[in-house]
Amino acid sequence: MVLAHIILGFLALAPMTGYDLKRHFDSTVGHFWSADRAQIYRALATLVADGHAEVETVAGSGAPDRQEHRVTDAGRAALAAWLAAEPERHVDRDPFLARVFFGADLAPDALLALLARRRAEAQTRLADYERLRAESDTGTRAARLRLATLDNGIAHLRAELTWLDAVTEEFA
39 vs 168, beta carbon nearer DNA? 39
Contacted entry of DNA, a copy of itself, none for residue 39, CB cut-off 5 to 8 Å set by kind:
DNA
Neighbours of 78 (CB within 10 A): 20
Tell me the closest approach of the beta carbon of residue 24 to a copy of itself, in angstroms: 11
State phi, psi for 86 to the nearest 5 degrees.
-55, 125
Contacted entry of DNA, a copy of itself, none for residue 23, CB cut-off 5 to 8 Å set by kind:
DNA
CA pair distance 171, 21, nearest whole angstrom? 43
Cβ-contact 33, 88 below 8 angstroms: no
Cβ-contact 167, 116 below 8 angstroms: no
89 vs 141, beta carbon nearer DNA? 89
Q: Which residues would be at the binding site for DNA (CB under 7 A)? A: 1-3, 17-20, 23, 34-39, 41-42, 44-45, 60, 62-68, 91, 93
